[in-house]
Structure 1
Amino acid sequence: MLKSLPVQLVLCVILAFFTAGFMDVSWVSFFYSLSCALKDFLMMVLPFVIISYMSSAILSLEQKAPMLIVSILVMVCLSNLAAVFTSYGVSLIALPFVTSGKMVDLAATKDLIAPLFSIPFPQVLEPKWAMITGLIYGLTFSLYPHKKANDLVLKMRDLVTKILQKTFIPLLPVYVFGFVLKMQIEGNLSVLFQTCGQVILLMIGVILGYILLLYTIAANFSPKKLVGYLRNIFPAALTGFTTMSSAATMPLTLTATEENMGDKNFTQLIIPATVNIHLLGDALGIPILGLATLQLSGLPLPDLTSFAVFAGFFCLAKFSTAGIPGGGILVLLPTLQTHLGLSAEMIGFVTTLYILQDCIFTSSNVVGNGGFALLMHRFMKLIRLVKPQPVDACQELTV
């Protein structure tokens, strides 16, 4: 049980809460320095994570037909964007009530504890340029296949995954501990966690409502068909909740979506192609967590233009989600910091909340992807990239 990452994070938060008052400031600064060093290490590795995962995700589509590839990528982006902006709209309405009278000013207290040291990890490429590089690389060699180019990006992906699994992920509790300890010393941690329950309930409500609407539309507003869809996808949702892995849940997602769609070939294309890039739970939940942290910290919510920039980079970053614990949030840290305005302490707090709820995010990602596949199938038939046919017939894909 102690090997479970969420359990380790809970213990770190509890330890920081109870030991902060007895710890010398120099020790707090030391642990905070470790957290900052780990964050800088992650920022050094992340561009390679983004390039390799984004490229391999696009390359996995192979040459299924150029228009089909483009349509899937465009619809994934639009779906993620719609979810992110839904979170923004709900946050504008609900967060002022949820956070009323519970604000702490992290911006004003950020200099009370300073790091004792820093390690100058080089950053060879900014994350936004890594996203653009990965996108161009993936699209180029998807349309013009080259085995060596494909092998190169797969080897890079395996290497950066191994680096993160052997270094950053085992030290993630240390990363969180330093930031949480600093917030507790500055008197902000208690207020933040007191409001967490309401923010999490808001987030879960938004996720459930959005996914239910998705399946209702896919079912043509038929209650009977809706119940059937949800009954079929429930085993996949439960498996995602318990395993916290969309990839491990994919066989059940494939079975459920095939039953709901009645098209085996299209199911076997759309689910594997989008399992790590179309993450509705993340797209709905992470912005709410980030915006709530801003609001609780006494900072204003971004205007529509600023948030639109964040949303664009958010959706690009989701193409590079790493298949590691907390991968959904780790690739977004530069975006949350640069385009949403979260400080290092706020990012540590959001990272902790995300990983503690990883089971909820994974389950909602799995169910959301099944609903997205149903709507994509209807859209593809509408634009004649997929030909309508009986349930058990062989599916034909057209260019």
Structure 2
Amino acid sequence: MLKNIPRLMNSIIFKLLVTLLLGFFFGHLLPTSIQSILYAISLSLKETLIFLLPVIIFSCIFSCLLSFKSDVFKFIIILLVCIALSGYISTFISYNVSKFALSGFNDIQEAQGTITSSLTPYWEFKFPTLISNNFALFSGFIAGLIFSKFRNNHVEVFADKMRTLVTLFLNKVFVPVLPLFALGFVIKLESDGILSIIIRSYFPLVVAIILTEVLYISLLYFIGAGFNPKKFLYFAKNVLPAGMMGFSTMSSMAALPLTIRAAEKNTGQIDLSRTIAPATVNVHLVGDSIAVPMIALAIMTTFGLAFPDLSTFMIFASYFVIAKFAVAGIPGGGIVVMIPILEKYLGFSPEMSGLITAIYILLDPLNTTANVLGNGAFAILTTKIFKKKSKVSTPVTETP
């Protein structure tokens, strides 16, 4: 246990938690000019990220689709449709649960009348928009589909290099400055008098997210087991080690070997398991699909924005589901590409974007666990679709 303490202290979650606590308890003691500078730094980091986001989105989606090693174009299309459909279902479950879970946030709305915004950034600048995020999103998707059909070694090398550069930037630049990115927004929220309200009121939201993830993922396994309790327990026994690995490492990719092994045991289909699990590891994100909308809707309520109607949320959900194909497998990667979508379709302000980034990262171990377990259920369900159309290898001998 003690040998894990240095790794814990170096983790991004520990650093972010310390930053949030320092900002909450001591931020108001700083001179106003220092608070203003820290807020300006956070806005500048956000503006830089938004400027580079089209490149990040395109490269991640493009390389993601090319990573589907199967040459069967129909297989890829069906798998993408299944991923998107799963994302829609879990996102709309999140929307409907939020209608009930956020009923206790009325006190926050009433408190909004007493909040006064005073802190302004020491400086502020805007980068020009060269390429829209939507253009990058759809062009990456279309290009990925085309070159997954017509394979070209030079294109695949180019895609790998782009993905490597983007991952290097996120890991070596963005992730290390995440605490600083969040600090300015925390100080801004504390200055406005809203941070204490958030801390006091968000615990029920965390409980609602966990319960929703547990119940929904359990339902997926029950469906995959044909509602056979014995088979359900067998599935759970096989996949729990992968979930524990995801929780401890906060990485679906680190848990991938265990996810593949669990899928092989649970489906009895080696080839399909070794194709579906790696292809969906960073794009089929049940935990994110449930947690991000619930956190976003709670923050909207906190800041006095109206709960979105179904048509507005459907537009948001459409971009949200597609944008998940651009998610980078790093701490905070699941929220990075969502910030422009949240701002454009749900009316998020920079402070709201900073807040959801902080909350998302703090909940990352739980959401990663849900992502890993959800991927295990997805492998079971999609294998039932594919096994009649695909040539599969000899089943694993162990059966329930």
TM superposition score normalised by structure 1: 0.94
Q: Deviations over 1:51-79 (max 9, x none)?
A: 11101111111343111110000110000
Q: Secondary structure at the match of 1:145?
A: coil
Task: Please name the residue that 2:370 is paired with.
Answer: 364
RMSD, aligned CA: 1.8
Task: Please name the residue that 1:9 is paired with.
Answer: 16
Residues 1:28 and 2:19 aligned together: no
Give 1:391's match in structure 2, choosing from 389, 392, 395: 395
**Mapped partners of 2:281, 2:59: distance in 1:** 16
Structure 1 stretch 365-374 or stretch 117-126: which is displaced more? 117-126
**Mapped partners of 1:189, 1:151: distance in 2:** 46
Matches within 5 A, 1:315-326: 315-326=321-332
Deviation, structure 1 residue 108 = 9.3
Q: Secondary structure at the match of 2:10?
A: coil
Q: Secondary structure at the match of 2:108?
A: coil
Task: Please name the residue that 1:396 is paired with.
Answer: none
- Judged with a 3 Å threshold, the aligned counterparts in structure 2 of structure 1 residues 279 and 110 are, in CA distance, closer, same or farther, namely farther
Matches within 5 A, 1:111-260: 112-260=118-266
Q: Deviations over 1:254-277 (max 9, x none)?
A: 011111110100000100011011
* Letter of the 1:83 counterpart: S
Deviation, structure 1 residue 203 = 0.5
Task: Please name the residue that 1:306 is paired with.
Answer: 312
Extract unaligned runs of 5+ from structure 1: 394-399
**Mapped partners of 1:48, 1:242: distance in 2:** 30
Residues 1:44 and 2:51 aligned together: yes
Deviation, structure 1 residue 121 = 3.2
Contact 2:271 2:392 in 1 (8 A): no
Contact 1:281 1:362 in 2 (8 A): yes
Extract unaligned runs of 5+ from structure 2: 1-7
**Mapped partners of 1:243, 1:316: distance in 2:** 26
* Letter of the 1:203 counterpart: I
**Mapped partners of 2:345, 2:74: distance in 1:** 32
* Letter of the 2:275 counterpart: L
- Judged with a 3 Å threshold, the aligned counterparts in structure 2 of structure 1 residues 104 and 173 are, in CA distance, closer, same or farther, namely farther
**Mapped partners of 2:312, 2:21: distance in 1:** 35
Residues 1:330 and 2:336 aligned together: yes
Task: Please name the residue that 1:19 is paired with.
Answer: 26
**Mapped partners of 2:253, 2:296: distance in 1:** 26
Task: Please name the residue that 1:86 is paired with.
Answer: 93
**Mapped partners of 1:392, 1:131: distance in 2:** 39
TM superposition score normalised by structure 2: 0.94
**Mapped partners of 1:36, 1:23: distance in 2:** 18
What percent identity do the matched residue pairs reach? 38
**Mapped partners of 2:279, 2:27: distance in 1:** 46
Q: Secondary structure at the match of 1:37?
A: helix
**Mapped partners of 1:130, 1:82: distance in 2:** 25
* Letter of the 2:390 counterpart: V
Deviation, structure 1 residue 49 = 1.0
Deviation, structure 1 residue 24 = 2.1
Contact 1:43 1:123 in 2 (8 A): no
**Mapped partners of 1:129, 1:194: distance in 2:** 40
**Mapped partners of 1:305, 1:123: distance in 2:** 27
Structure 1 stretch 333-342 or stretch 170-179: which is displaced more? 333-342
Q: Deviations over 1:137-169 (max 9, x none)?
A: 100100111111111121111112212222221
- Judged with a 3 Å threshold, the aligned counterparts in structure 2 of structure 1 residues 191 and 61 are, in CA distance, closer, same or farther, namely same
**Mapped partners of 1:237, 1:371: distance in 2:** 12
**Mapped partners of 1:180, 1:107: distance in 2:** 20
Deviation, structure 1 residue 4 = 1.2
Alignment size in residue pairs: 390
* Letter of the 2:236 counterpart: L
Give 2:108's match in structure 1, choosing from 91, 102, 109: 102
- Judged with a 3 Å threshold, the aligned counterparts in structure 2 of structure 1 residues 35 and 104 are, in CA distance, closer, same or farther, namely farther
TM superposition outliers: structure 1 runs of 4+ over 3 Å:
104-111, 119-123, 387-390
**Mapped partners of 2:110, 2:118: distance in 1:** 14
